[in-house]
Structures are given as C-alpha cells and as structure tokens.
Structure 1
Amino acid sequence: MSNAKTSLLKKLESNEAVIGIVGLGYVGLPLMLRYNDLGYRVLGFDIDSGKVEQLNSGKSYIEHIGSERIARASSQGFEATTNFERVSEADAIILCVPTPLNKYREPDMSFVVATADAIKPYLRAGQVVSLESTTYPGTTEEELLPRIQEGGLKAGREVFLVYSPEREDPGNPCFETRTIPKVVGGYTENCREVGIALYSKAIDMVVPVSSTRVAEMTKLLENIHRAVNIGLVNEMKIVADRMGIDIFEVVDAAATKPFGFTPYYPGPGLGGHCIPIDPFYLTWKAREYGLHTRFIELSGEVNRAMPEYVVGKLMEGLNEHGKPVKGSKVLVLGIAYKKNVDDMRESPSVEIMEILEKKGANVAYSDPHVPVFPKMREHHFELNSVDISPESLRAYDAIVIATDHDKFDYDMIEKNAVLIVDSRGKYRDFQSNVIKA
C-alpha cells in the first residue's frame, strides 16, 4: 500500500480530511452540509462570487435548504471561496459542476474541463478527485485522468480518481443525501478503495462497481429508464385523449398491479438537470461505436413535443371561447420543473411560455417558489410572479397548470378561471372549464 493511500485513508476514517467541493448548487450544497455535520472541515469552491458571498454570510439561495443550516455550517468551519489555489488544502476534491447540452444536443463538457484545468496546478500527492457530474462513459478517463496526471502524479498511486454519480432529488422529503445509495467506481482498485472510504462515512450505503465507466453508465441507465417510460406514457396520453379516456385514471388503475408495472405519469414535458439531458450523452457517445440509440431518440422526440401539445390544447380551448391565442391573456401556473421546488433547470413551463409569447399571447406566471423569473442561459422573461385570487384569475382568458405545486388552491382556481388547461391531472372529474392536456 502506498504511503499516499495509507495517509489518505487514515484521514478519511478519522474525519481529519479536508473535503473540497467544487460547484455549490443543488448537488454540492447538500453534500457540503452532510460532511460538515460529520465534523469534517469543508471548503466550497464556486466561480460565482455572489454565491460565495451569500454562503459566507450564512445565507442560502436554494429554497429547500434553509439559511439556518448554512449559518450553522459556517460556524462549524465551512468556508466558500472562488480561489482555486486553495485546492491544495483539500484531501478530497468532489466535482459537482453542470454538464448541459449545447444547441446541437451534444454534451457540453466545458464546465468539467474548465474545472479540471483550474484544479490541476494545485493537486498534490495524497488527494482523491471524484467527479459527480452526469456524463458519458469514458469521461473520467478521457478528460480528468490526463489532466490530473499532467504534473507528474500517478493516478492510483499518488492521487486517486473516482466517479460517483450524484443522485439528488431536490424537494423529495423521503430521501436525503445520507439515505440515497452511492455508486462508486475507481480508475484503479486503489482508487475505488479510496472512493469507498470517502463516501462510506457520509452515505448509509455505498455500491462499489468495477470501473468509472460502469459508474458513468449506471447513472445514464437510471435516467434513460425514466425518460423512455415518461415518453411512453406521454404518447399514451395523446392516444387516450383522442379516444376520450383519462390517462391518469388508467395509470392509477394499472398501478394496482403488485408486480410487473411501475407507474409513470404524463406531463407538459421533461424538466430538471438529468432526465431531459442525460440520455443524449449516451446517444452521442454511441455514435462513436457506430450505434443508434433508437429508443432514447424516440422518447426524446415525444417528450420535447409535449410543450407544443399543451399549447395546442390551449388554442383549442380558446377557439371554443371565440378567442385567438394572439392577444389573449394567459397565466401559467408553476414554472419550476417539478412541484414544490424552486429549481428552474430545463423547465417545460418556460418552453410553453416562449411558444405562447411567439404566438402573440400576453403571458404571465404565478409560482410561489419562484417570485422573480431568474436569469437563465437560454430563456429571458422580465416577469414577477403574479398573486392569484378570484379577481385576478377572472382577468385571464386562460390558465395553464404546468407545475402542480401543493401551495396552489385548486378549488379556488377551478371556481374562478374562465378556462383551465390541465397538463398535470389535477382535475379528474368533468369540469366544463377544464381541458385536459
């Protein structure tokens, strides 16, 4: 056993290791809190100086993570910084940076590459680097490995390289960082052993796999499974609607089967940082091997078409009221990508808003979790959330339920809205002013 490995394992086991987390968002921040709670000293790295300033003043910018938790972490030694030279202070460096798609739906590895380039001058013997960002099989070996070895350190002997995909589910009260099993793959057996030691203190169940590629593919399979099944039920929704059948009733009935069926529910499209994006990482990589991932691509087509489908149902409803979409006042309820969170990443609600705006509608939104429309990479609205009341609802030609937050008063909405387009199955019984989309 190398001296570097022995020393690092001892530090991890005794909670004396310094944990460095790069990327302090929906993945990195909960991980920071978990290690901080265990007594590790945690350094947080982010290129966003505004985030760093907020964290160091004890404030949170993520709704389901309270500021009191950040303040407590700071009092227990947590510190955030934009100075990557301090990577040398960390014994473990966990990368939690975005991996979006570019406009051609190809992997955008710029955040991973830029982060690897930022940390590599400050790496030293006795450190472990773990990538948690979702990506295609081979990324850890192809992008990280040459960079961490560039200065002469040998992976598996002096530094240790791990891939362990994040599995955060923001706003899900049934799971937290500690209780979600953690898949860990290492570049070498020594790397895997160090990775297990890194995560076994913080996570109840660690699932070792034979390589970083297996771990990378595992995360993709998890999300492709969801994307394909959601695509299937979205397509079934369209067929059921044409036949006059309520797809939500169908799914609920099918879910009573105690074996061989898992319920997936339709919606206005896919959102979040994983499901709309990750399948295309495998699609892109498979081309290198001369393969076409037909299931993935077909489900992607179906899911990407759902915002247009919802707008089409809205237009049908407006036509029945003798109104064109151009000039109509439309209120979109819920613009986060899923219920009860403030996470806007890849939200189909925003696509619905953009389609409506292009068609000439006057678009507003209401979301108790998103009071001001945030700055986004590809979407721009200068809007604030509208407070809904019986009077305000009656002022709109149509209401689109895009995200079914629990804070909405659905009885009040149904009683006062002129027209409701329901993409989330909130209204199961017949209502004359509701169109199921």
Structure 2
Amino acid sequence: MTQHHLALAVNGRERQLSGRLVAYQDRSEEDAVRRVSGLGTRVPKARQETVVILGLGYVGLPTACGLAARRSSVVGVDISEARLRAVADGDVDLPDAERAVLHDALADGSLRLVDDPEALAEADTVVVCVPTPVDEDRVPDLAALRGACATAVAHARPGQTIILTSTTFVGTTRELLVEPLRRRGLGVGTEVHVAFSPERIDPGNHDHVQRDTPRIVGGVTPECSARAARVIGDLTNSVYLVGSPESAELTKLYENIFRAVNLALANEIADICGALSLDPIEVTIAAGTKPYGFLGSFPGPGVGGHCIPCDPHYLLWQLREKGVAAPVIDQAMRSIDLRPDQVVRRAESMLAAAGTGAIGARVLMAGVSYKAGVRDLRESPALPIIAGLTRLGVDVRYHDPLIGEVELPDGSRLTGEPEPRGADWDLVIVHTVHPGFDYAWAGDCPQVLDATYQFDLAPHRQVV
C-alpha cells in the first residue's frame, strides 16, 4: 500500500502529516476491497449498500451523482417537488461529466428520487447535505439543518452510518445528531456511527473535481471515522482523518474564513491602488510570481455564493455567545458586506460627473450571478447593487445569458435584457463575465464601470 504524506508549512517550518490520509485503490471486481490506512481495517467494497442523500442542492446532487457512479443503490431525498422535477429533467447546474452520470444513474435505477423521508429507514448510510444560510442580520438560519438532522435521528436504526456535510458551527454534529440519538437509546459508535465530513465543491470550477479533491472526516469514534471514510472514499481518491467531528467542523470554517479574509484584503489593495494610480491586477499578478508565502485573489464587486459570505458568520455567532473576540474575521466580513454599496457610490459619482445624475438614469448590469459560469444568485453582490441604485432613482436593468429572471430583496422581479446595445444606456456596470459569450457591445456605452477590474473590451472603463 502506498504511503501518503501531506506537507504543511507552519511558521516557516514544514511539518509532515502522515498516517491519517486514507488511500482507496480499486481492485478487481472479484476482490474489490478498500484498505483504510492507519486504522487497521479491511472492509468489502460496499456497492450494494443503500446510501440516502438528504437534500439535493448544490452539494447533495453532486454527492448523489458521485456515489451513484460507484454504487447500485443511491436514494436522493428532497422536500421540494420542484427541485426533484428539475433533477429528473436534467435541468440542473452540473458539469457535463456529472450531468452524464446523473442521466445514466436515473436511467439504470442506481439513483432514485423521492420526497418521502421514510426512505431513510432503508438506508445503510445517510448523508445530510442541506443549506446553512444566514438571515438579513447575518445570524445563522439553522431551520433546514435542524429539520434534516431531526429527520435523520427519527429514522435512525442500528447498523446505520450518518454523515453530516453541511458547513456549520463547531459542535453541531454532537448537538443535533449524537445527543438526540443517545436520547433515543441508540449507542453512538456501537449501534449507530456518526461523523462530520465537510463538502468541498467549487461550482463552475472544472479544474478541481470531486475525485481529485481530498475530503476531511471526523468521526465520534475511530469506528465511526472508518465507516464514514468508506462512503466518502467513493467520492474522492483520499480522505484525511481528524480526531473528532469538532475538528472537522472548524477545519471547514477555517478554509472559508481564509478565503473571505483574502478576498477582503484583495478589495482593500484595489482601493489602495486606486488612490496611488496603480493597477491592482498587475500588482496582484506580480506578487503571485513569488513561489512561496503568497496566495493572491483578484478584487471584485463583492463576495457571493453559498459559502464565503455566510459560513464565517456561523463561527462569529458562536464566538459572540462565548464572549470571544475575532477582530480579523469580523472586520473582513464587515468589509465584504459593505463592498456592494461602494460600487453603488462609484456608479452614482460617475453619473454625476457625466451630468446625467442618478434620477432616471438608465444603468445596465452586465452579469448578475455571483460567479462566472454558474447559474446561481445566492448572496450575489448584484442584488444589493441593483437595490441600492433603485433607491437612488436609477432605472436599473440587467443582462445575464445564464439568468433569465431576478427576484430582488423587496420581492419585485426583473427580466433580463436578451440582446442589449451599449449605446442605449447611460452606464454599464460589469459585474460577471461568463465565458463563451460576447460582451463587446458594452464598449459602445459612453460609461463603463468595471467591477471585475479585468474587462478589457471597453478602453474607457473605470474601476470601483
């Protein structure tokens, strides 16, 4: 068996982390086995065991596809009939390879779709994949998570493994799964096995597929870790084991907090470059030539999506309850929240300088999804930007080839402009540039505010 190592640089010194990285190697179908490194466990390849995925969103659906590619019995459970119809019809935002797996799995029956949580009773393993958003005050909204965990507990039976994947506060696995299971009289680690294995899915990024992305597993006991690793090992070539669910929970939060702080810093550097008449993209690329100790990000109109704008608040909320300060994280998240308003103020000043003024001005947002190449509006900076401009009296529209309609925070809806002409607008705000589409029309607009800092089709553009 191959020995695996991870190298981690800590305070300038490199530490070798070994012995807990689980390697899975496919054998012949006759002797299909997996060996769990460091646990002394050799288990049969459990393709016939039933895995139930609770929640078929941006994490649950790729998880179901990944497991169905290697197992003959995967059940996807979702309470939304609309979502189940979309999955059944293939009307989902998946890479081509996963879309093909979904089609084949539905066709051959290895993936079944149901809306009845009673399906959990037949499961050998339950994987909980539900969203963990925040509310308008950036307080964690735990309704979906509590409901899903309660459902898993209610249907748990001896011999089952339950794996929580949703990003959440430290201690969630014990609070919402372990303790309720014990109150039901089920022994955790003996009768039911529980672990936390945070998702690592980057929508729209085809360079980092599930199979090549290591996963973290933290079980309540070593046997819990071993059983969870068997299932997660069907999704990835390597699983890194940590000593507890809490360690795995904080690992995921640390990953996303690191990204949030990095993005907040990138925007701040862009503002500094503006004050010094420098190009932040040039500076960032130049800094990136250093082969060690630097990980750069590019500035933008804000931070969107399911993870970075939300997940750090789960830790901040928990720390406030404990009276623990986290000033770096707190300031980074405040900066991220304020970024869309900075775009609004910049647009207002450009309209004023042109003599147009905000009231009645025609402004077009080029792109509204939170990220290039994805059909996802969750936490998109475009939404508060549109709302802020509307409050100023601006007539705001948008063009996004992937998003046909937008629901604004006040409940009103906007329909996208299918074929815009730059000359028809007083200002175009470049927010998201999707690959494979033509944006040359924006160069015909008299004013272009480039919130991506990288839109080179309008030489007269200005940046935030």
SS in 2 for 1:295: helix
Unaligned 5+ segments in structure 2 are: 1-40
Aligned to 2:431: 402
Aligned equivalents of 2:166 and 2:272: distance in 1? 36
Give yes or no for the alignment of 1:92 onto 2:137.
no
Question: Does 2:19 align with 1:19?
Answer: no
- Answer yes or no: is the 8 Å Cα contact 1:13–1:201 preserved in 2: no
TM-score (normalizing by structure 2) = 0.87
Match of 1:292 in 2: 325
- Aligned partner of 1:301: which letter? R
Q: Structure 1, unaligned stretches of length 5 or more?
A: 1-8
Can you list the C-alpha shifts for 1:62-95, whole angstroms capped at 9, x where unaligned? 2546765433111121111110011011111101
Question: Pick from 175, 190, 199: which aligns with 1:142?
Answer: 175
> Partner letter of residue 240 of structure 2?
V
Q: 2:383 aligns with which of 332, 335, 350?
A: 350
Contact 2:368 2:432 in 1 (8 A): yes
Matched, 1:330 2:363: yes
The answer as to whether partners of 1:98 and 1:111 remain within 8 angstroms in 2 is yes
- Segment drifting more, 158-167 vs 108-117: 108-117
- Out of 63, 73, 76, the position equivalent to 1:31 is 63
Q: Which residue of 2 aligns with 1:388?
A: 419
Provide closer, same or farther for how the CA distance between residues 64 and 172 of structure 1 changes in structure 2, counting only shifts above 3 A.
same
Alignment correspondent of 1:435: 462
Q: Does 1:74 align with 2:139?
A: no
Instruction: From the superposition, tell whether residues 430 and 198 of structure 1 become closer, same or farther in structure 2 (CA, over 3 Å).
Output: closer
Distance in 2 between residues matched to 1:234 and 1:104, nearest whole Å = 23
**Match for 2:144: what amino acid?**
F
Kindly provide the amino acid, as one letter, of the partner of residue 76 in structure 1.
Answer: D
Give the whole-Å Cα distance in 2 for the aligned partners of 1:242 and 1:263: 20
What is the one-letter code of the residue matched to 1:370?
I
Aligned to 2:204: 171
1:420 aligns with 2:451: no
State the match for 1:40 in structure 2: 72
What pairs with 1:256-335 in structure 2 (closer than 5 Å)? Answer: 256-335=289-368
- Aligned equivalent of 1:103: 136
Report the alpha carbon displacement of residue 430 of structure 1 after superposing the two structures with TM: 8.5
Structure 1 residues 324, 94: closer, same or farther in 2, change over 3 A?
same
One-letter amino acid matched to 2:447: L
Show the counterpart of 1:3.
none
The 8 Å contact of residues 422 and 441 in structure 2, kept in 1 or not, is answered as no
Residue type of the alignment partner of 1:149: R
Q: CA RMSD in A?
A: 2.0
Q: CA deviation at 1:11?
A: 8.5
1:152 partner SS: coil
1:319 to 1:63, Cα distance in 2 relative to 1, 3 A: farther
The structure-2 alpha-carbon separation of the partners of 1:407 and 1:330, relative to structure 1 and needing over 3 Å to count, comes to: farther
Given that 1:63 and 1:369 are in contact with CA atoms closer than 8 Å, whether structure 2 keeps it comes out as no
The CA deviation at 1:12 is 6.8
Shift of the 430–356 alpha-carbon distance from structure 1 to 2, 3 Å rule, reads: closer
SS at structure 2 position matched to 1:421: strand
TM-superposed CA distance for 1:41, in Å, is 0.8
Distance 1:325 1:91, change over 3 A: same
Mark the CA change 1:86 to 1:11 in structure 2 (over 3 Å): closer, same or farther: farther
More helix by share: 1
Give me the TM-score of the superposition, normalised by structure 1.
Answer: 0.92
Alignment-mate amino acid for residue 201 of structure 2 = E
Q: Identify if the C-alpha distance between structure 1 residues 12 and 109 changes in structure 2 by more than 3 Å, giving closer, same or farther.
A: farther
1:230 corresponding residue in structure 2 = 263
1:402 Cα offset (Å): 0.9
1:368 is displaced (CA, Å) by 1.1
Q: Deviations over 1:259-318 (max 9, x none)?
A: 221111111111111111111111111223321110011111111111111111111211
Would the aligned equivalents of 2:281 and 2:454 in 1 still touch at CA under 8 Å? no
Deviations 1:108-134 (A, max 9, x none): 211111112223222111111111000
**Percent of aligned pairs with the same amino acid:** 33
Equivalent pair of 2:95/2:206 in contact (CA under 8 Å): no
Change (3 A) 1:23 1:430: closer
Q: Note the 1:340-379 alignment, pairs <5 A.
A: 340-373=373-406, 378=409
Q: Kindly provide the CA deviation profile for residues 157-184 of structure 1, in whole angstroms up to 9, marking residues without a partner as x.
A: 0011110000100110102122111000
Bigger strand share:
2
Counterpart of 2:356 in 1: which secondary structure?
coil
Q: Aligned pair in 2 of structure 1 residues 294, 179: CA closer, same or farther (>3 Å)?
A: same
Q: Which amino acid aligns with 2:451?
A: S
Q: 1:298 to 1:102 in 2, by over 3 A?
A: same
Please name the residue that 1:4 is paired with: none
1:213 to 2:256 alignment: no
Q: How does 1:4-15 map to 2 (within 5 A)?
A: 13-15=45-47
Aligned partners of 1:85 and 1:119 also within 8 Å: no
Q: CA offsets, 1:316-353, max 9 Å, x none?
A: 21112101112111110111111111111111111111
Structure 2 distance, partners of 1:430, 1:100, is 36
CA distance in 2, matches of 1:10, 1:50: 42
- What CA distance in whole angstroms lies between the structure 2 residues aligned with 1:29 and 1:53? 13
Equivalent pairs counted in the alignment come to 422
For 1:316 and 1:246, the matched residues in 2 are separated by 20
